[in-house]
Amino acid sequence: MKAIKNIFYNFKKYSFLMSQLVIRDFKVKYKRSFLGILWSLLYPLLVMAVMAVVFSQMFRFNVPGVNYLVYLLTGVIMFQFINEGSTNAMNSIIGNGSLIRKVYIPKYIFPLTKVLFTGVNFLLTLIPLVIIVLVTGEGETNTTLNMYYLVLPFIFICMFLFVFGIGLILATLSVFLRDVIYIYGVVVTMWQFLTPIFYDVSMLPQTLQFLMNFNPSYVFITSAREIILFGQVPSLQLMLSSAAFGIGFLILGSMVFKLNQNKFIYYV
Q: What is the pLDDT of residues 178-192, one digit of tens each?
A: 999 999 999 999 999
pTM: 0.87
Say whether 123 sits in a helix, a strand or coil. helix
What is the rounded distance in angstroms from the CA atom of residue 255 to the CA atom of residue 166? 11
Say whether 195 sits in a helix, a strand or coil. coil
Cβ 87 vs Cβ 251: under 8 Å? no
Residue 252: CB atoms within 10 Å: 14
Q: 217-251, pLDDT tens digit by residue? A: 999 999 999 999 888 899 999 999 999 999 999 99
Q: Give the distance from CA 132 to its chain's centroid.
A: 20
How much is the pLDDT for 32?
A: 64
Residue 65 Cα distances to 80, 138, 231, angstroms: 25, 11, 14
Sorted by where each begins, the domain ranges of the chain are 2-266
